[in-house]
Amino acid sequence: MYRPTRQRGAIRLCLFAVFVITAITWLYPSWLSSTSIDVDDPCYDSGACYDLLLETYQEQEREKLGLDKDSAVEADEVKSQIESQQPEEFERVKGAFVVLVRNNELYAMRSSMQYLEDRFNHKYHYPWIFLNEEPFTEEFKTLTTAMTQSEVHYGLVPKEHWGYPDWINQTYAAECRQDMHVRGIVYGGSESYRHMCRFQSGFFYLHPLLDGLEYYWRVEPGVKFSCEIEYDPFRVMKERDLKYGFTMALVELADTVPSLWKATVEFAKSHPQYIYPRSRPDSLFEMVTDDRGVTYNLCHFWSNFEIASLDFMRSPGYRAYFDFLDRKGGFFYERWGDAPVHSLAASLMLRKQDVHWFYDIGYMHDYFEHCPTEPHWLTYGKCYCDPGASFDQSSGSCTNRFLEVMGKTVDDYIVTKNPEPEDIRL
């Protein structure tokens, strides 16, 4: 509707006046109360206010510690007791999540990150390192950086770590792939899968983004973490001087590694300086053989989850083993996976006390899940997974074998804090 200019001006003025009056009426009481001076208020005198706050603080801290109200506890004493109970938030070990991943796995990657950040890393802020043989897209970088408050790094895999070495007969390698494909072996026909396994076996630890790190936690897109992780696994590795940690151990597909054991035994015989004597009671040799070394029992730690020492992976023994295997050509002519390669190295070169089963970390990769099955306070108090669905009791699992070789029970591997009896409501 048309109105003359003067009339429109008057309407605007009225509206403005109404707005100003409403704002003053609304703001005035709080402004008035915050500036009024109450001489009975201890905070009137800033010294008294400080004392009051300190007293309140002490009271609260005493309550948190369950201390007697009348116990004379000095502020510093309370503070130091409280500090000793704090999680080690700012005492990070030199560790990082390390992920080899493709751009098209972005959303599965974001999902893995969300699980890990929720379950653990929001308290610790360990960095993420992403590696790829192709440059990461801006979209990948933006949408993964957005999932964490930690530092995020993106690296390119060098060409020499993702290609054929000159001693490989590529024609024969292609024939082997075709043959395995026809036989229906999982990933048998895939060329990129072989480059991936070779990279994860022998090169990832050489990437400059991992320089200066002591431990890596390998993560894959699309994995799930079903239990609250209440402690810092990197710190556990460091404090216990561990070299290798896993959540699942299982039997490898025999067709992917027909000559891996033969090559490994050959290496052990020609490089005894790197092999831990299998006659010692703390040798892990029995983890990978049921017949005193005649054959490989195919047991391996599933490397899609692993937390391990980079010093171990970069050690002369491990590197000599990888180089030896690489010369044999089995990464290309067969389909040797990084999981059996890491596991055979750990079982031959490390001692029992160097390897840890992260039993209390609920974890799922594909359809395989590790869920703690006991004790109740852990299974039902800290995890959402179904203990009945845990892979550990399946015939393809090697975790029972691990316990048998170690002479331990699952209780020996629970790091999660045992709750106070009154906190268990099951």
Ligand X SMILES: Nc1nc2c(ncn2[C@@H]2O[C@H](COP(=O)(O)OP(=O)(O)OP(=O)(O)O)[C@@H](O)[C@H]2O)c(=O)[nH]1
Residues forming contacts to ligand X in the complex (CB under 6 A) are 100-102, 105, 132-133, 192, 196, 220-221, 304, 366
- Minimum Å gap between C-beta 308 and Mg ion is 17
Catalytic-residue membership of 105: no
Does residue 111 belong to the site contacting Mg ion (CB under 5 A)?
Answer: no
Choose between 102 and 278: whose C-beta lies nearer to ligand X.
Answer: 102
- Minimum Å gap between C-beta 105 and ligand X is 5
* Residue 221 binding target from Mg ion, ligand X, none, CB below 5 to 8 Å by type: ligand X
* Residue 250 binding target from ligand X, Mg ion, none, CB below 5 to 8 Å by type: none
- Minimum Å gap between C-beta 144 and Mg ion is 17
Choose between 93 and 101: whose C-beta lies nearer to ligand X.
Answer: 101
Does residue 190 belong to the site contacting Mg ion (CB under 5 A)?
Answer: no
Question: Which span (67-75, 198-206, 245-253, 304-312) binds Mg ion, by CB under 5 A?
Answer: 304-312
* Residue 189 binding target from Mg ion, ligand X, none, CB below 5 to 8 Å by type: none
Choose between 19 and 107: whose C-beta lies nearer to Mg ion.
Answer: 107
- Minimum Å gap between C-beta 112 and Mg ion is 10
SS (H, E, C) the chain: CCCCHHHHHHHHHHHHHHHHHHHHHHHHHHHHHHHCCCCCCHHHCHHHHHHHHHHHHHHHHHHHHCCCCCCCCCHHHHHHHHHHHCCCCCCCCCEEEEEECCHHHHHHHHHHHHHHHHHHHHHHCCCEEEEECCCCCHHHHHHHHCCCCCCEEEEECCHHHCCCCCCCCHHHHHHHHHHHHHCCCCCCCCHHHHHHHHHHHHCHHHCHHHCCCCEEEECCCCCEECECCCCCHHHHHHHCCCCEEECCEEECCHHHCCCHHHHHHHHHHHCHHHCCCCCCCCECHHHCCCCCCCCCCCEEECCCCEEEEHHHHCCHHHHHHHHHHHHHCHHHHCCCCHHHHHHHHHHHHCEHHHEEECCCCCEEECCEEECCCCCHHHHHHHECCCHHHCHHHCCCECHHHHHHHHCCCHHHHCCCCCCCHHHCCC
Which of the residues 306, 334, 369, 404 is marked catalytic? 306
- Minimum Å gap between C-beta 251 and Mg ion is 17
Does residue 220 belong to the site contacting Mg ion (CB under 5 A)?
Answer: yes
Choose between 219 and 348: whose C-beta lies nearer to ligand X.
Answer: 219
Using CB under 5 A as the binding criterion, the count of chain residues that bind Mg ion stands at 2
| Residues annotated as catalytic (active site), given as ranges | 306
Binding footprint of Mg ion on the chain (CB under 5 A): 220, 304
